[in-house]
Amino acid sequence: MTTAIGPLLIDALPRLRRYALSLARAADVADDLVQAACERALATAATLDDRQRFDAWMFRIVRNLWYDRLRRLRTRGEEFDVTVRDDLVAIEGEKLPERRLLLGQAAAAIDRLPDDQRELLLLVCVEELSYRDAAEVLQLPIGTVMSRLARARRRVAEDLGVESGRVL
């Protein structure tokens, strides 16, 4: 890549951490993943093609590091679950209890998705990757991305009682 990746990395850090957090479900593990991804990106910056989208490349690095970690830790127990950390949710206002309930229901619906659908939903809907970029990150055909995402959205909507754009 002809441009320096330092500024690109700094701009991508919040999104990388959010994605890593969605994979790892533990802030300390997510931070480690992002740090390792940054180190790897800096060490291999020459391999990034100018036609390749930087954030998609970084998401793939984080994802690969996550799966490498899972393979290494296969014999270890479960990691700390981010859903028990109230300090990570910062919603203010008079509807706080209702919003927390809805947020908890949505998070639970997303957590119940199969891993492949959950990961894709987060890349496209939260990280705002295009279908093509998500397909590149996950190394899937774009048609598979589209059908998997449609199934994930439908399942979450059903779990939340949303039908035709209305909450039941």
pLDDT digits (tens, 9 = 90+) for 122-134: 999 888 899 999 9
- Residue 155: per-residue pLDDT: 92
Q: Could you confirm whether domain 94-160 is CATH 1.10.10.10?
A: yes
Confidence label for 2 from pLDDT (cuts 50, 70 and 90):
very low
Record the tokens describing residue 128, joined without a space. 């705002």
Q: What is the mean pLDDT of the chain?
A: 84
pLDDT tens across 46-58, in order? 888 777 789 899 9
- Residue 31: per-residue pLDDT: 95
Pick from 24-38, 49-63, 77-91 the range whose average pLDDT is largest.
Answer: 24-38
**pLDDT at residue 86 above 70?**
no
**pLDDT at residue 99 above 70?**
yes
Comparison of pLDDT for 10 and 51, the residue scoring more: 10
**pLDDT at residue 106 above 90?**
no
In the chain, the percentage of residues whose pLDDT exceeds 90 is: 52
In the chain, ranges of CATH 1.10.10.10 domains: 94-160
- Residue 3: per-residue pLDDT: 58
CB 132 within 8 A of CB 142: yes
- Residue 53: per-residue pLDDT: 87
